[in-house]
A and B are shown apart, each in its own frame.
Chain A
Amino acid sequence: MTTGSEREDKGSAQSGVTRRAFLKGAGLSAAAAAGIAAGTGVLDSALAATPPLQVVGPGRRPITLNVNGSERRLEVEPSATLLDVVRGQLDLIGAKRVCDRGSCGACTMLVDGRPINSCTYLAIDAEGKRVTTVEGLAAPGAPLTRLQQAFIECDALQCGFCTPGMVMACTALLARNPSPARPEIAAAIAGNLCRCGTYQNIFEAVELAARRGAGGGR
C-alpha cells in the first residue's frame, strides 16, 4: 500500500499536448467540459489559459533530448514514452517498465532534477529539459555517488529490478533535502515498489549517504 509519490505531473507546454489541451482536443462536448470545469473551478481558468492546440504527428518526429548531459538527436513517435525511447533507442536499460502506469516507480528518471515516472512521460515532452537516468549518476569507471556506495554497503538491493528507480528517487531526495528524517525518506520512495523487501535497507543507505554529506554528489 502506498500513498501518493512526489512525482511531477506529466504534460507540459513544450509539445502542446497537455492534459488540458487533450481535454479540449479530444472533442469533449462543451457541456461535459463545463461540467468538469464547474466541479473544479481550477480547471476552468486553466482551460482559458491554455495555449493554442498544437497537433503533433501522426508519424515520427525529430527531437533532441539532453540525456545525461549529452544531446541526442532522435526520431520518435509522438506517443512514445520517455522510458521506451531511452531504453530502446539509447540502450540505457537501468530504468524498467514494471507496471506501465506510474504506480511502481521502477522507471524513475530525473527531468530537470525532479523525479518522474518515465513510463507515463512522453519523450517529446522532455525536449529542452535535462534528463538524467541512473547511468548518468556515475560514468563507467568513474567513482559511484555516495548514495550508490551506501546502497552497496547497506545491501539496499536484492534482485535489483527496482534499484535504479530507488536510487533515482533517493538521489532527488538528497538533492533537495541533504539530511532527511526516516519518514521523509519513506515519503520520497512511497511511489517506488520493491517486492524483495529492501525498504529498511534503503532507509539506512540514504541515512548513511546523508551522514557522509551526499547531497547528490560524490
Chain B
Amino acid sequence: MAANTSEIKIRVGFGDSFRDLTVRIAEGDVPPYEPGTRFDVIGAAAPRLDAEAKVTGSARFTYDQNLPGLLHGKILRCPHPNANVKSVDLTAARAMPGVKAAISFPEVFRTEAVRFAWEGIAAVAAESEAQAEAALRAIAVEYEVLPFCVTREDAMKDGAPQVGRRNQQNVRRIYPEIPFTRDGTIDEKKEAARQVEMREAEAKVDRILKESDTVVQGTFYTQVQTHSPLETHGVVCTWENESLVCYCSTQATFAVRHELTHHQGPVRATNARVLCEYVGGGFGAKFGAGREGVAGALLAKAAGRPVKVMLDRREEHTTTGNRPDSHQVLAMAVAKTGEIRALRARSWGTAGTSPAGAGAHNDVMYELGEIDKIEYGVRTNANDARPLRAPGFPQGVFALEAMMDIAAASIGMDPIEFRKKNDAHPVRRAEYDIACERIGWAAKRGAPAVPRGGADGGRGVGPLRRGVGCASSLWFASGGGGAKVLVRVHKNGTVEVRNGAQDIGTGTRTILGMVVAEELGIRLADVATFIGDTNDPAGPGSGGSTTAPTLTPAARVAAHRAKRQLLDAVARAEGWDAGNLDLRGGKVVGRDGAALAREIDFRAACGLIAEDQIEVLGERPVLDKDHPNYGGLADTNAGVQCAEVEVDVETGLVRVLKVVAVADAGKLINPKLAESQVRGGVIQGVSYALYERRIMDRIEGRMVNADFEFYKILGAVDCPEIEVVLLDVFMGHNNTHVMGLGEPPVVATAAAVANAVAHAIGVRIHSLPITPRKVLAALAGEEVRG
C-alpha cells in the first residue's frame, strides 16, 4: 500500500473545542468521522454480543472443548531452579495404564538448560488426568543441579551464581540499548559512541541538579506481578492428516498459527487452523502457543487422538510470564516557579532468565527537561517477563508520580497545579479539572488530617486517616496495518462480518459489528460477527491496545465499499444516481438522509444484488510501513485518576474508597464497554498497589504463593467505588478516530493510590504492594522494601 495518498482536511478535538487539520490519507481509505455526525449505532451502550453465551454458560472456551476420544496431557515440571537435564527416560511412563503418548522437552525444544523451577521437562497424554499424572511420576530424569539465585538482590551480588549460559551476565544494560552485531556480539564501536552520549547526558543533568533551586530524590521498589488470567494457558489439539486444528486460549490466533506451522519450529504442521472464540483473560501473557501448546500438538499427533493440555494454577503462576519488579532511583530538579528542569533515573528490574522487558517507564508524560536515564535488566532463576497490561508503565509511573508529589511539596505547590504546569497534553489538561472536581480535591486536600471534633471535620475518624492522590497516564495505540475484515451482504438481507483475531473480553466482536452496522445503516442485531478463527481474514494480536484501532478502520473500509456496491445495485435497478444515495435507519435514503420518492428498505435493496452476495475484503489502510496512521490532535491518548483512601494507623490496613478515572481513547464506539475496560484497569491497578506479589523462596528457589489463596488478587469486598468519566475524542490517526483502551486505565492507578496513602498518613511508602506491615513501619519511621 502507501504510495498513493491524498490530502484531506479533517476536524479533530473534543468537548466544544475542535480544529481543522490537514492530513494525508491512503488511497482506498474513508475520511474519518466528522464531529457533529449523528450516529445511530456508534456511541450506544449496546450489550456485548457474546453476553448471553457468557451468562448462560454456553460460551465454549478452549478449556471446555470436549472432543470425542479426548486424551488429557500433563507436563512434568523441574523442581530445580537451575539445572542441566542429562537424560529423560520415558520408557516406564509409556507403559503406564492409559498412556497413549509421551514426549521429552529437551528433545523437542533442543535445549538441556532449565533455568527456573517448574520449567517443563516432558509431557504425556493419557485417557484420564489421573493416569497422566501417575505417568509423570514414572518418568526418570537425571539432572546436573546448578547453584541459583531467584531475587534481584542476590543476582547482583559479587560472585552470584550465573543464571544464563555461555557469556550471559546477570546484569545487562537495557536502556540505552546495547548495540549488537549480527553474530550476537556487542558492536564495540557503536557502544563506545553510546557511552559518550550517556556521559554527556549525565554531565548535563549533573549541572542542572547543581544549579537548580530545588532537587528532590527518591528510591522506589515494585514487586513481581503475575497475569493470573482465570483461564490458564492451554490447547486442545487434533490432527487431520498433516493438518492441525488447535483450540488455543490465546490473544494472538495468527501468531499461534505461525508458531505451529513454522518450518523450523518443533511442530511444523503443513496447515493449521487456530480457533479461539472465547478466551478467559490474557492480559499480555497469551501471545504464543507456548511449550504447553507445542506439547499438545505433538502429543495429539503421536497418539492419533485429540489431546487437551491446560495448565494448572501453579503452572500458570510460575511458567507463563509476569510483570518484572523494579528498583528505581530518581532525582528531579525543579524551579521555584514549578517547571521541571531535569530528571535522572537509574533502574534495575528482574524479568527472570532474560533481561528483556525489565524497564520501568519513569520518564514519560510530563515536560521533564533534560533526561539522564539508564536501565538495567537483571537475570534471575525465575520465570521470564511477558507483557502485562501496559508493560513497564505502572511501575515507572508509580515512581515518577511519587516524585511529582514530592517535588510539588518541596516548592509548596498543589500537586495537580504542579502537574498542569508541566503537562502539555491538550486532553489531559482538561482531565485534571474533571478528576479534581469529581473527587472533591480542593476540600479534601485542604482538610486537616485529624478530625476536629466531629466525624466530618477532617480526613478521618479515630485511627482512620483519609487522603486523596492523583496520577496520570498516557498510551500510544492508534493501530497498524496487516489486518483485513471481510463483510458479506447476502441477497436475503443478512450481513456477515469476519475477522480471525480474538476478543479477550474487551468487546472486539461487538465494536466490529457496530462499526459495520453504522456504515450500512442497520441495527447491530442485523449483523452476525465471527471472530477467533484463523481460516478468516488476518487480524492482530491483542497487545498494546491495538486491536480496536487496527480492526475498526478495516471494518469501516469493508462496510463502506459493500455499501457503495449495494447502492450501485439499487441505482441500476431504479435508474437513480448512486452518488446521491446512502443507507440509514434500515432504508435507502438520499445523500442528505432525506427520504426518497420510493421507499426501499435494506432487505429489499439486498434483493437487487445481481450475484448471491456482495463480498468485500477491506484492508486496514496505512500510509506507509513506518507510519501506519495520519496526524491527529495529539500523538498519545491521556487519562487522569484520583484515588481516595482510608488508612487504619493502628492495623496498617489500607482501603481504597473511591477512584475517579477520567479516560479517553479517541472515539468511543461503545461507551458501556469502554467504561468496563476502565473499571477493570482500575481494579487491577488497586490490586497491584495493595495485594499482589510473587514471593520467591530463596532457599528452594521456587514461588511460594503460586495459588489464589496467598497470591492475592482484589476481591469484591475490596472493590472501591469507581467513577469513570469518558471523553469522546475525535483524535484523527485513522478513519474511526479509535484508540485502544486496554492498557491506559491501569497505568495511573497504583501511583494515585500510593500518593493518596502518603497524603493520608503523612509519610510515604516507597514500595509496592502497600501492605499493613509497610504502613506500620513507615509510621514508625522505618522503611520496608520487599
Contacts and interface: CB of A to CB of B under 8 A. Distances in A.
A198 B676 contact: yes
Contacts of A95: 57
Given A2-B717, A88-B66, A96 B56 contact: no
Contacts of A157: 48, 51, 54-55
Contacts of B231: 96, 98, 159, 161
Interface in A171-218: 183, 185-187, 189-190, 192-203
Given A94-B58, A144-B55, A158-B676, A186 B230 contact: no
Nearest to A189: B716
Interface string B55-66: 111111101101
B709 A98 contact: no
Interface in A46-98: 77, 87-88, 91-98
B716 A192 contact: yes
A121 B424 CA distance: 58
A126 interface: no
A83 to B, nearest CB: 12
Contact of B278 (A1, A159, A162, A164): A159
Nearest to B683: A197
Contact of B228 (A88, A140, A195): A195
B505 interface: yes
A133 B57 CA distance: 9
Given A1-B714, A2-B717, A196 B56 contact: no
Nearest to A159: B505
B313 A134 contact: no
Nearest to A202: B716
A36 interface: no
Contacts of B708: 98-99, 101, 103-104, 193
Given A99-B313, A189-B715, A197-B714, 11 more contacts: A2-B717, A94-B58, A140-B58, A144-B52, A158-B677, A159-B280, A159-B504, A160-B59, A161-B230, A197-B680, A201-B676
B367 interface: no
Contact of A196 (B52, B53, B63, B505): B505
B312 interface: yes
A106 interface: yes
A155 interface: yes
Contact of B57 (A92, A99, A100): A92
B607 interface: no
A153 interface: yes
B57 A153 contact: no
Contact of A2 (B278, B675, B715, B721): B715
Interface of A: 1-3, 77, 87-88, 91-101, 103-104, 106, 133-135, 137-138, 140, 144, 148, 151-153, 155, 157-164, 167, 183, 185-187, 189-190, 192-203
27 contacts: A1-B714, A77-B130, A98-B231, A100-B312, A103-B708, A104-B708, A135-B56, A151-B55, A155-B48, A157-B54, A158-B506, A159-B281, A160-B59, A160-B61, A160-B505, A163-B57, A164-B57, A192-B716, A193-B230, A193-B713, A195-B228, A196-B505, A197-B681, A197-B684, A198-B676, A200-B722, A202-B716
Given A94-B58, A195-B229, A197-B682, A190 B281 contact: no
A77 B66 CA distance: 19
A194 B713 CA distance: 9
A87 B682 CA distance: 33
Nearest to B653: A1
B279 A159 contact: yes
Contacts of A152: 47, 51-52, 55
A196 B55 contact: no
A197 B283 CA distance: 12
Given A158-B505, A160-B280, A134 B719 contact: no
Nearest to B59: A160
Nearest to A2: B715
Contacts of B54: 157, 160, 163-164
Given A94-B57, A153-B47, A158-B506, A196 B680 contact: yes
B112 interface: no
A7 to B, nearest CB: 14
Contacts of B283: 195
B715 A190 contact: yes
A183 B709 CA distance: 22
A108 to B, nearest CB: 11
Interface string B493-510: 000000000001111000
A193 B676 CA distance: 16
A111 to B, nearest CB: 17
Contacts of A189: 715-716
Contact of B719 (A160, A161, A186): A186
Interface in B222-246: 228-232
A87 B64 CA distance: 8
B474 to A, nearest CB: 21
Contacts of A96: 61, 63, 230-231, 280
Contact of B51 (A93, A151, A183, A187): A151
B715 A163 contact: no
Nearest to A134: B57
A137 to B, nearest CB: 7
A94 B229 CA distance: 17
Contacts of B33: none
Nearest to A3: B717
Contacts of A185: 716
